[in-house]
Amino acid sequence: MITIVIGTDPSQYVAQRVLEYTIRKHTSAEIKIIAGQQTQKRLGGTRFGFVRFLVPSLCEYQGTGIYMDADQLVLGDVAELAATVQPPHAIGIVRNIEGTFGGKPVEPRNETSVMVLDCARLTDWDPDTIFDQVVPNDQQPGPGQIRYKDFIRLGWVDQDLIQSIDPRWNHYNMVREDTRLIHFSHVREQPWKRPEHPMTALWEEWLQAAMGAGYISRTDIFKAVSRGRIHRHFLRHVLKVA
């Protein structure tokens, strides 16, 4: 069993459900998907930034857990992704990111928007205490504290536990024939918000497939448009004759 936790919030519901569909479409492995929403105070980044650190506890500190942001599409088999982390490592992430953010190349870093975790080796990731010393990015950290951006990028983790995985599992705003996962990382530029995005047609194909498979209803689309969560361009999927 592979457990996949998707960090999400109500504004990302449609994208989240499309992602879920693409995950299941590309694997025959036994998987469990959990849509995780952040209950802790937001200190920076997205509204679900802390969810990724809940994966080991949600897996009861057993087996392999995978984390993904909601604003992604999976084009490869997650069983392949789950098998990437090998001892002595416990955390698999993309470091040498391929693609762009806001039109600029992404610099190498510990990118945690996709993570593969050996949950049995991360028992210190206790959701009741792990965030206690995290402070906002604009605050000077005190003794034992860490800024949000450094926390998210695993600045507090033993770096020997981290394994760099294939960049194809977190392609930023790009797609190639060998892409395993597309990450629409720039929130204001996501294709469901901006129809002129160069990959809107691709994302919309997966939206249509997810609707056909029952993952998303026309009511879901209408509500998302009416609340400004996706562009009115997608109302055409509500108006189609059954």
- 60: phi > 0 → left, psi -120 to 50 → alpha, else beta; which? left
Q: ∠ CA(38), CA(44), CA(49), 5° rounding?
A: 35
- Please say if the pLDDT value at position 239 is more than 90: no
pLDDT of residue 242: 44
E strand or H helix at 25: helix 13-25
- Please say if the pLDDT value at position 10 is more than 70: yes
In degrees and rounded to multiples of 5, residue 147 shows phi and psi of -70, 150
Dump pLDDT digits (tens) for 17-44.
999 999 999 999 999 999 999 999 999 9
CA–CA separation, 240 and 223 (whole Å) = 16
Averaged pLDDT, 52-77: 98
pLDDT band with cut points at 50, 70 and 90 for residue 240 = low
Nearest to 180 by CA among 107, 99, 73: 73
- Greatest C-alpha distance within the chain: 62
Cα–Cα distances (Å) from 154 to 146, 147, 180, 204, in that order, read 10, 11, 23, 34
In the structure encoding, which two tokens stand for residue 54, read together?
């809940």
pLDDT of residue 238: 85
Mean pLDDT, the chain, rounded, equals 96
Nearest to 168 by CA among 109, 117, 96: 96
Averaged pLDDT, 74-95: 97
SS3 of 134, please? strand
Q: Kind of pairing, strands 162-164 and 146-147?
A: unpaired
- Please say if the pLDDT value at position 241 is more than 70: no
Dump pLDDT digits (tens) for 225-234.
999 999 999 9
Q: Where are the beta strands (DSSP E) in the chain?
A: 2-7, 31-36, 64-69, 72-74, 91-94, 100-101, 104-105, 111-118, 134-135, 146-147, 162-164, 171-172, 181-183
